[in-house]
Amino acid sequence: MAALLTLLCLITPVAAADDLTQQEKLFGLSLLWKELSYNFPFFDQVPDLDIDQAYQTFIPKVLATESTAEYYRELVKFVAQFDDGHTQVIPPRSYQRQYRANVPIQLTAVQGQAIVTAVSGDLSEQLPLGAAITAVNGLALQSHLDKHILPYIASSASHVRQNMAIRSAFEGRPDTALEITFRTVEGETGSVSVTRRHKLAWGTASVLQQPKRSKDRLDFRMLDNDIGYLSLSTFRDKAIVDDFLAIFAELKTTQGLLIDLRFNGGGNSRHADEIIRYLADRNTTGRGWKSRIHSAAYKSWGVYGGQYAEYGQDNAWHQGKPSTLTARSNNHIVPTYVLIGPGTASSSENFLIHASQLQHMTTIGENTFGSTGNPLIYDLPGGGKARIVSLRATFHDGREFVGSGIAPDIEIKPTLADLLAEEDVVLNEAIRRLSEQL
């Protein structure tokens, strides 16, 4: 640390184009390095990453940047190496202006392909819906993603990282040209030239309808056979609990229940916990967790081995005690299917840990986001922020899910045919199975 302070003093205080000094640039990177070194709980999941070497590699890179946006480009890339969905740099608006321009084409990852699911009116005759993108600017699609997109994506699970990369495949600097090569559903090949813009002119867009996040926090409706459909889009604030209690009397008239968490990115686990208490017939145990701890004295003794060796190896942990949820006495217990997918994240995954202990609940869909962990939040020079996961969460019984996602009891992966038919196969299959049980 003393060497770092000396280095900070030696750097000439020359401001960048938008007033970030060399000291500020080095401080931001150093803050990330320091806090990740002390707090990051998943180094075993990135075995090829040497944090000290990565830090040294990025020092000249950040110092050579000529704008705040360029500086944040390097910070984003530095932190993305840690492969964690709750560990990332959140850049200021200048970054969005410089690197997040796009084109009016929407892509969806299906069966390992990047499929066109929406296209602006003026491009629709050139680029048909359902086409698979094969190359960008002469690079095979995966090579393009590996070089230009994936190094800047922070995600714990490989399937989520790839999905995010496909959705962001055309992002880049404004007013730059793209040559997009594609293959149609019929097998014909073609290409289209477009220019990245900040303001996208969609016109009368062509769109393949897909399941998507509801605009409302909660959506409840009755289906045939007295089946209730409950969509929970967020656990961010207490209003979701109030919304749930407002429809609970009607929900209690159902003979079967579908809970859609496919687009719930999380929020506050307390709100998720409160809702599942009304749907549980027994007490359940929350997530297991542990967090890294540091003691300077123990570390000084631990470098010689013995009782405090784990401190000397930076591998000392506080083991948290899982919480217990008490089921509500006025609960509602019916056969229940919980719809999940890559958009099911954080406190939604904590919800699933409780659901896994309830025999009347079955999960259906795809692996979840695979990341949770109460991030620490830091201010960075230039107006951005960083967050670093603060704990290592597991199932109540110690099973890991961060890095892979929670697997459903029944896996349903939409196919290209499903997408073209605009069919919600996960919901339809859940309805079919639930109807057969009633």
Reported as a single tens digit per residue, the pLDDT across 311-334 is 999 999 999 999 999 999 999 999
For residue 102, what pLDDT band results from cuts at 50, 70 and 90? very high
The predicted model gives 138-163 an average pLDDT of 97
**What confidence score (pLDDT) does residue 418 get?**
97
Among residues 412, 238, 247, 417, the alpha carbon closest in space to that of 339 is found at 412
The predicted model gives 161-181 an average pLDDT of 97
**What confidence score (pLDDT) does residue 19 get?**
81
- Full-model pTM: 0.92
For residue 6, what pLDDT band results from cuts at 50, 70 and 90? very low
CA-to-CA dists, residue 425 to 127, 228, 382, 420, angstroms: 26, 17, 45, 12
**What confidence score (pLDDT) does residue 3 get?**
37
On the question of pLDDT at 9 being above 70, the answer is: no
On the question of pLDDT at 1 being above 50, the answer is: no
Query: Which domains occur in the chain, in start order?
Result: 100-207 (2.30.42.10), 218-287+322-370+405-437 (3.90.226.10)
- Which amino acid appears at position 276 of this protein? I
The predicted model gives 254-268 an average pLDDT of 97
The predicted model gives 115-127 an average pLDDT of 96
The predicted model gives 255-272 an average pLDDT of 97
* CA 354 to centroid of chain Cα atoms: 21
For residue 11, what pLDDT band results from cuts at 50, 70 and 90? very low
**What confidence score (pLDDT) does residue 29 get?**
98
**What confidence score (pLDDT) does residue 271 get?**
97
The predicted model gives 393-421 an average pLDDT of 97
On the question of pLDDT at 13 being above 80, the answer is: no
The predicted model gives 75-92 an average pLDDT of 97
For residue 376, what pLDDT band results from cuts at 50, 70 and 90? very high
- Which residue, chain included where needed, has tokens 């390097």? 74
Answer for the pair 251, 220: CB distance below 8 angstroms, yes or no. yes
Token pair listed for 253: 């008239």
On the question of pLDDT at 16 being above 70, the answer is: no
- Show the beta-strand stretches assigned E in 79-151: 88-90, 105-110, 113-119, 132-136, 139-140
On the question of pLDDT at 10 being above 60, the answer is: no
**What confidence score (pLDDT) does residue 106 get?**
98
